[in-house]
Amino acid sequence: MTSLNELTVAITGSGQGIGHAMAMRFAQQGANIVISDIDDDRATASAEAVRELGGKAISVRADVTDADDCTALVAATVAEFGRLDVMICNAGIIQVKPLLDVTADDWNRTMNVNVTGTLLTLQAAARQMLSQEPLSAGRPKGKIITMASIAGRYAAGPMAPIIPHYRASKAAVINLTHSASYTLAPDVTVNAICPGLVDNDMWKLIDREWSEVEGWETGTAWKTRTSAVPLGRPQTMDDVAGLAEFLASPASDYMTGQAINIDGGLTVG
Protein backbone atom coordinates (compact mmCIF):
# COMPACT_ATOMS: atom_id res chain seq x y z
CA MET A 1 0.00 0.00 0.00
CA THR A 2 1.16 3.50 -0.80
CA SER A 3 1.76 5.75 2.19
CA LEU A 4 -1.25 7.64 3.51
CA ASN A 5 0.97 10.61 4.26
CA GLU A 6 -1.01 13.88 4.39
CA LEU A 7 -4.37 12.27 3.63
CA THR A 8 -7.11 13.82 5.76
CA VAL A 9 -9.18 11.19 7.53
CA ALA A 10 -12.24 11.87 9.70
CA ILE A 11 -13.54 9.08 11.94
CA THR A 12 -16.82 9.23 13.83
CA GLY A 13 -17.08 7.53 17.21
CA SER A 14 -13.29 7.62 17.50
CA GLY A 15 -13.03 8.69 21.11
CA GLN A 16 -12.57 5.05 22.03
CA GLY A 17 -12.61 1.49 20.71
CA ILE A 18 -12.17 0.59 17.06
CA GLY A 19 -12.44 4.23 15.98
CA HIS A 20 -9.55 5.21 18.24
CA ALA A 21 -7.48 2.25 17.03
CA MET A 22 -8.05 3.38 13.45
CA ALA A 23 -7.02 6.93 14.31
CA MET A 24 -3.77 5.75 15.85
CA ARG A 25 -2.94 3.50 12.92
CA PHE A 26 -3.70 6.17 10.33
CA ALA A 27 -1.64 8.69 12.28
CA GLN A 28 1.33 6.31 12.20
CA GLN A 29 1.03 6.37 8.41
CA GLY A 30 1.22 10.16 8.33
CA ALA A 31 -2.46 10.99 7.85
CA ASN A 32 -4.15 14.08 9.26
CA ILE A 33 -6.77 12.86 11.74
CA VAL A 34 -10.12 14.33 12.72
CA ILE A 35 -11.45 12.68 15.86
CA SER A 36 -15.21 12.89 16.28
CA ASP A 37 -17.30 11.63 19.17
CA ILE A 38 -20.49 12.56 20.99
CA ASP A 39 -18.39 12.63 24.18
CA ASP A 40 -16.22 15.74 23.93
CA ASP A 41 -13.81 14.62 26.66
CA ARG A 42 -13.15 11.30 24.94
CA ALA A 43 -12.65 13.03 21.58
CA THR A 44 -10.18 15.48 23.10
CA ALA A 45 -8.20 12.71 24.80
CA SER A 46 -8.11 10.60 21.64
CA ALA A 47 -6.82 13.53 19.56
CA GLU A 48 -4.17 14.23 22.18
CA ALA A 49 -3.02 10.59 21.98
CA VAL A 50 -2.59 11.00 18.21
CA ARG A 51 -0.57 14.18 18.71
CA GLU A 52 1.63 12.41 21.26
CA LEU A 53 2.55 10.02 18.43
CA GLY A 54 3.68 13.03 16.44
CA GLY A 55 0.55 13.06 14.29
CA LYS A 56 -1.68 15.95 13.32
CA ALA A 57 -5.14 15.78 14.86
CA ILE A 58 -8.12 17.86 15.88
CA SER A 59 -11.21 16.81 17.80
CA VAL A 60 -14.79 17.74 17.00
CA ARG A 61 -17.77 16.90 19.17
CA ALA A 62 -20.53 15.58 16.92
CA ASP A 63 -23.76 13.68 17.35
CA VAL A 64 -24.09 11.65 14.15
CA THR A 65 -27.89 11.64 14.44
CA ASP A 66 -27.87 15.41 13.96
CA ALA A 67 -27.44 16.53 10.34
CA ASP A 68 -26.11 19.93 11.41
CA ASP A 69 -23.43 18.27 13.54
CA CYS A 70 -22.36 16.10 10.60
CA THR A 71 -22.14 19.14 8.35
CA ALA A 72 -20.16 21.01 11.01
CA LEU A 73 -17.77 18.06 11.37
CA VAL A 74 -16.94 18.18 7.67
CA ALA A 75 -16.66 21.98 7.73
CA ALA A 76 -14.21 21.84 10.65
CA THR A 77 -12.17 19.21 8.81
CA VAL A 78 -11.89 21.35 5.68
CA ALA A 79 -11.17 24.50 7.69
CA GLU A 80 -8.23 22.78 9.40
CA PHE A 81 -6.78 20.62 6.64
CA GLY A 82 -8.20 21.99 3.37
CA ARG A 83 -10.04 18.87 2.20
CA LEU A 84 -11.56 15.55 3.28
CA ASP A 85 -10.07 12.45 1.71
CA VAL A 86 -11.54 9.65 3.82
CA MET A 87 -14.62 9.54 6.04
CA ILE A 88 -15.05 6.51 8.28
CA CYS A 89 -18.64 6.20 9.52
CA ASN A 90 -17.74 4.26 12.64
CA ALA A 91 -20.11 5.53 15.35
CA GLY A 92 -22.51 2.85 16.53
CA ILE A 93 -24.23 1.23 19.49
CA ILE A 94 -25.44 -2.22 20.49
CA GLN A 95 -27.98 -3.55 22.96
CA VAL A 96 -28.52 -7.13 24.07
CA LYS A 97 -32.24 -7.83 24.39
CA PRO A 98 -34.42 -10.80 23.38
CA LEU A 99 -36.56 -10.24 20.30
CA LEU A 100 -39.90 -10.16 22.13
CA ASP A 101 -38.57 -7.70 24.73
CA VAL A 102 -37.26 -5.11 22.23
CA THR A 103 -39.33 -1.94 22.55
CA ALA A 104 -40.03 0.70 19.93
CA ASP A 105 -37.63 2.99 21.80
CA ASP A 106 -34.89 0.33 21.70
CA TRP A 107 -35.45 -0.17 17.98
CA ASN A 108 -35.56 3.53 17.15
CA ARG A 109 -32.44 4.38 19.14
CA THR A 110 -30.41 1.61 17.49
CA MET A 111 -31.59 2.54 14.01
CA ASN A 112 -31.10 6.25 14.65
CA VAL A 113 -27.45 5.91 15.64
CA ASN A 114 -26.36 3.02 13.45
CA VAL A 115 -28.31 3.72 10.25
CA THR A 116 -29.42 7.36 10.27
CA GLY A 117 -26.07 8.37 11.75
CA THR A 118 -24.26 6.59 8.94
CA LEU A 119 -26.51 8.18 6.32
CA LEU A 120 -26.07 11.72 7.62
CA THR A 121 -22.31 11.37 7.98
CA LEU A 122 -22.02 9.84 4.52
CA GLN A 123 -24.11 12.62 2.96
CA ALA A 124 -22.05 15.39 4.56
CA ALA A 125 -18.80 13.76 3.51
CA ALA A 126 -19.97 13.05 -0.05
CA ARG A 127 -21.07 16.65 -0.64
CA GLN A 128 -17.58 17.86 0.24
CA MET A 129 -15.77 15.16 -1.70
CA LEU A 130 -17.78 15.79 -4.87
CA SER A 131 -16.79 19.46 -4.70
CA GLN A 132 -13.05 18.85 -4.54
CA GLU A 133 -10.43 17.69 -7.00
CA PRO A 134 -8.85 14.24 -6.69
CA LEU A 135 -5.38 14.10 -5.17
CA SER A 136 -4.06 12.98 -8.55
CA ALA A 137 -5.44 12.24 -12.01
CA GLY A 138 -7.49 9.08 -12.26
CA ARG A 139 -8.02 8.70 -8.54
CA PRO A 140 -11.31 9.06 -6.61
CA LYS A 141 -12.12 12.45 -5.12
CA GLY A 142 -12.66 10.76 -1.79
CA LYS A 143 -13.42 7.53 0.00
CA ILE A 144 -16.15 6.62 2.47
CA ILE A 145 -15.90 3.58 4.72
CA THR A 146 -18.92 2.41 6.67
CA MET A 147 -18.83 0.10 9.67
CA ALA A 148 -21.22 -2.81 9.38
CA SER A 149 -20.81 -6.26 10.97
CA ILE A 150 -20.99 -9.93 10.13
CA ALA A 151 -24.19 -9.72 12.18
CA GLY A 152 -25.73 -7.95 9.20
CA ARG A 153 -24.58 -10.56 6.68
CA TYR A 154 -25.39 -14.13 7.53
CA ALA A 155 -28.57 -15.95 8.53
CA ALA A 156 -29.78 -16.78 12.03
CA GLY A 157 -27.09 -17.92 14.46
CA PRO A 158 -26.63 -18.23 18.22
CA MET A 159 -26.76 -14.45 18.72
CA ALA A 160 -29.78 -13.81 16.51
CA PRO A 161 -32.33 -14.04 19.35
CA ILE A 162 -30.59 -11.44 21.53
CA ILE A 163 -29.47 -8.68 19.12
CA PRO A 164 -32.24 -8.56 16.47
CA HIS A 165 -32.34 -4.77 16.25
CA TYR A 166 -28.54 -4.51 15.98
CA ARG A 167 -28.50 -7.15 13.23
CA ALA A 168 -31.20 -5.30 11.30
CA SER A 169 -29.32 -2.01 11.62
CA LYS A 170 -26.09 -3.47 10.26
CA ALA A 171 -27.89 -5.11 7.35
CA ALA A 172 -29.30 -1.68 6.56
CA VAL A 173 -25.79 -0.16 6.66
CA ILE A 174 -24.62 -2.73 4.10
CA ASN A 175 -27.57 -1.95 1.84
CA LEU A 176 -26.95 1.79 2.21
CA THR A 177 -23.30 1.22 1.29
CA HIS A 178 -24.37 -0.49 -1.93
CA SER A 179 -26.75 2.34 -2.84
CA ALA A 180 -24.19 5.04 -2.06
CA SER A 181 -21.41 3.35 -4.01
CA TYR A 182 -23.57 3.24 -7.14
CA THR A 183 -24.80 6.80 -6.66
CA LEU A 184 -21.39 8.35 -6.06
CA ALA A 185 -19.35 6.43 -8.65
CA PRO A 186 -16.98 7.18 -10.23
CA ASP A 187 -16.02 10.12 -8.01
CA VAL A 188 -16.25 8.59 -4.52
CA THR A 189 -15.77 4.98 -3.45
CA VAL A 190 -17.93 3.54 -0.66
CA ASN A 191 -17.15 0.24 1.07
CA ALA A 192 -18.24 -1.44 4.31
CA ILE A 193 -16.18 -3.29 6.88
CA CYS A 194 -17.89 -6.24 8.59
CA PRO A 195 -15.93 -7.21 11.71
CA GLY A 196 -16.49 -10.37 13.71
CA LEU A 197 -15.72 -10.93 17.40
CA VAL A 198 -13.60 -7.93 18.35
CA ASP A 199 -11.93 -7.88 21.76
CA ASN A 200 -13.18 -4.47 22.89
CA ASP A 201 -15.54 -2.78 25.32
CA MET A 202 -18.56 -3.43 23.10
CA TRP A 203 -18.01 -7.17 23.32
CA LYS A 204 -17.49 -6.93 27.08
CA LEU A 205 -20.96 -5.36 27.20
CA ILE A 206 -22.39 -8.12 24.98
CA ASP A 207 -20.81 -10.82 27.12
CA ARG A 208 -22.10 -9.31 30.35
CA GLU A 209 -25.64 -8.76 29.11
CA TRP A 210 -25.91 -12.03 27.16
CA SER A 211 -24.60 -14.01 30.13
CA GLU A 212 -27.18 -12.29 32.33
CA VAL A 213 -30.00 -13.19 29.92
CA GLU A 214 -28.93 -16.84 29.82
CA GLY A 215 -27.94 -17.16 33.48
CA TRP A 216 -24.33 -17.90 32.60
CA GLU A 217 -21.18 -16.93 34.46
CA THR A 218 -19.70 -13.71 33.06
CA GLY A 219 -17.19 -14.55 30.34
CA THR A 220 -19.02 -17.65 29.13
CA ALA A 221 -20.57 -15.99 26.05
CA TRP A 222 -17.23 -14.57 24.91
CA LYS A 223 -15.33 -17.84 25.41
CA THR A 224 -18.02 -19.86 23.65
CA ARG A 225 -18.22 -17.62 20.61
CA THR A 226 -14.47 -17.09 20.15
CA SER A 227 -13.79 -20.84 20.46
CA ALA A 228 -15.49 -21.22 17.06
CA VAL A 229 -13.13 -18.86 15.20
CA PRO A 230 -11.06 -20.90 12.70
CA LEU A 231 -7.97 -18.70 13.07
CA GLY A 232 -7.92 -19.60 16.74
CA ARG A 233 -8.03 -16.21 18.40
CA PRO A 234 -10.34 -13.26 18.99
CA GLN A 235 -10.13 -10.30 16.65
CA THR A 236 -8.12 -7.25 17.68
CA MET A 237 -9.11 -3.69 16.98
CA ASP A 238 -5.91 -3.35 14.95
CA ASP A 239 -7.10 -6.16 12.67
CA VAL A 240 -10.05 -3.95 11.75
CA ALA A 241 -7.83 -0.87 11.45
CA GLY A 242 -5.62 -2.72 8.98
CA LEU A 243 -8.52 -3.29 6.62
CA ALA A 244 -9.55 0.35 6.96
CA GLU A 245 -6.01 1.36 6.04
CA PHE A 246 -6.21 -0.73 2.86
CA LEU A 247 -9.58 0.73 1.90
CA ALA A 248 -8.24 4.26 2.41
CA SER A 249 -5.13 3.61 0.33
CA PRO A 250 -4.58 3.79 -3.45
CA ALA A 251 -4.41 -0.02 -3.42
CA SER A 252 -8.22 -0.12 -3.19
CA ASP A 253 -9.00 2.59 -5.77
CA TYR A 254 -10.80 0.09 -8.02
CA MET A 255 -12.96 -1.28 -5.22
CA THR A 256 -16.39 0.11 -4.39
CA GLY A 257 -19.73 -1.22 -3.18
CA GLN A 258 -18.17 -4.06 -1.21
CA ALA A 259 -19.02 -5.30 2.29
CA ILE A 260 -15.92 -7.12 3.45
CA ASN A 261 -16.02 -9.73 6.21
CA ILE A 262 -12.98 -9.69 8.49
CA ASP A 263 -13.75 -12.29 11.14
CA GLY A 264 -11.00 -14.90 11.29
CA GLY A 265 -13.04 -17.25 9.10
CA LEU A 266 -16.07 -17.35 11.42
CA THR A 267 -18.49 -17.03 8.50
CA VAL A 268 -16.73 -19.45 6.15
CA GLY A 269 -19.27 -21.71 4.52
In the predicted structure, residue 142 carries a pLDDT above the cut 90? yes
159 located within any domain:
yes
Q: Look up the domain containing 111 and give its range.
A: 8-197+235-262
Quick one: 155 exposed, middle or buried, by C-beta within 10 A (0-12, 13-18, 19+)?
exposed
207 located within any domain:
no
From 154, 166, 182, 254, active-site residue: 166
Write down the pLDDT at residue 3.
73
68 located within any domain:
yes
Summarize pLDDT for 154-174 with one digit per residue, the tens: 766 788 999 999 999 999 999
- DSSP string computed for 181-241: HHHHTTTEEEEEEEE-SB-SHHHHHHHHHHHHHHTPPTTHHHHHHHTT-TTSSPBPHHHHH
230 located within any domain:
no
In the predicted structure, residue 269 carries a pLDDT above the cut 60? no
Does the active-site annotation cover 166? yes
216 located within any domain:
no
Q: Tell me, what amino acid is at 231? A: L
Q: What is the CATH number of the domain that holds 29?
A: 3.40.50.720
**Which residues, other chains included, contact 62 with Cβ-Cβ below 8 Å and sequence gap of 6+?**
12, 36, 37, 38, 69, 70, 72, 73
98 located within any domain:
yes
258 located within any domain:
yes
Summarize pLDDT for 35-73 with one digit per residue, the tens: 999 999 999 999 999 999 999 999 999 999 999 999 999
Write down the pLDDT at residue 157.
79
The band of 34, judged by pLDDT with boundaries at 50, 70 and 90, is very high
pTM given for the model: 0.95
Angstrom distance (rounded) from CA 10 to CA 25:
13
139 located within any domain:
yes
Total number of domains constituting the chain = 1
